[in-house]
Amino acid sequence: MNGQKPDRVPVSIYQHSTVHNRGVDEFTTYTINFYRKFDPDYVKVMYDELYDTPVNYQFVSDPSVWSLLEDLDPHEGALGRYLLSLKKIRASVSPDTPVIATIFSPLHIAIRLAWGRIHEDYENARNDLYRGLKTITSNLVSFVSAAKKEAGIDGFFVGAYGAETKWFSQTEYVDLELANDKLLLEAMKDLPFVILHIHGEHDSYFDLLSEYDCTAFSWEDRLAGPDLASARKKTPKCLVGGIDHVKAKSSSTQVIYDQAREAIAMTGGAGFVLSPGCTFLEGTPIDNMLVLKTAAEDAAKG
């Protein structure tokens, strides 16, 4: 994270859980079992039931719902279940293993609540959307504070969704989300691991978000670019990536191994975490995930 070269490039291997793992105990068991099976160098916790909507609303079905979004207690509901899961996971691994909690950015959550019609609200009910985003941001900041104080985690992986041309122009993204992103990251600034994930397979706003105050950047380097070598010229911060997570589902293990070795060579093994560009997809062969650790160990041997 500090840009130095370790004895071996760290490896991150992660995959979303499913509907069957939503309970606290079920999710904790899933996460710990995954960690023990794939042996990544930190536990990336990926709890997907992140946000509670008002009663009678599963989604933002019309603009008025943005104003109905409530102030949430981070100890209750979905956030409370995530907080308790983090406590259990932190207690289940050794103290020297970093535990990093995945959290979605405010716009990421807003898109999940409204999907395609968020564009309509941006055009026709912008003030309502602003209010909703402000509420979401406040709730996320409260959760971050609780997780830091009570769960003893080491950092966050912030999924910034919407920072790509398929959702908003760069100007629109700045208008909607820049201030909210900065508030969320400000709440994390004293943690050693704050990884910003710039989501998007095409035309994501790497240059814009690479100015954010965090310790590392994750993005789909094999799909959206820039590649690792170009990114190193743009920022001195730690880079997280190197593997095409889409190709990993159907390619041979040798192809993924070669990508891993190429990524380590491109970065010189310094200030770099070998990782999929985004989550390994359901159905990805186990060997195509395990091979990341093999490649890192082989590279360390010279």
Q: Does any domain span residue 54?
A: yes
Domain range holding 88?
27-236
Q: Which residues contact 67 (CB under 8 A, 6 or more apart)?
A: 128, 131, 132
Give the pLDDT confidence of 275-302 residue by residue, as tens digits: 999 999 999 999 999 999 999 999 999 8
DSSP state of 53: P
Of residues 165, 162, 150, 172, the one with CA closest to residue 99: 150
Residues 11-19 have a mean pLDDT of: 93
Q: 3-class secondary structure for 88-108?
A: HHHHHCCCCCCEEEEEECHHH
pLDDT tens digits, residue range 206-231? 999 999 999 999 999 999 999 999 99
Evaluated on CA atoms 72, 76, 77, 79, the torsion sign reads positive
- Widest pairwise Cα distance in the chain: 60
Summarize the confidence of residues 66-73 as an average pLDDT: 97
Q: Give a yes or no: residue 161 inside a domain.
A: yes
Instruction: Write the DSSP symbol of residue 151.
Output: I
Write out the two tokens for 20: 């069957």
Question: What does residue 135 show for φ and ψ, rounded to 5 degrees?
Answer: -65, -45
Percent of the chain with pLDDT over 70: 100
Question: Which CATH number goes with the domain that contains 189?
Answer: 3.20.20.210
Tell me what the mean pLDDT of segment 51-70 comes to: 94
Of 110, 226, 206, nearest to 163 by C-alpha is 206
**Mean pLDDT rounded to a whole number for the chain:** 96
Would residue 164 count as lying in a domain?
yes
Structural domain contains residue 122: yes
Please count the structural domains in the chain: 1
Does residue 15 form part of some domain?
Answer: no
Establish if 253 belongs to a structural domain: no
The confidence score (pLDDT) of residue 253 equals: 98
- Note the pLDDT tens digit of each residue in 26-49: 999 999 999 999 999 999 999 988
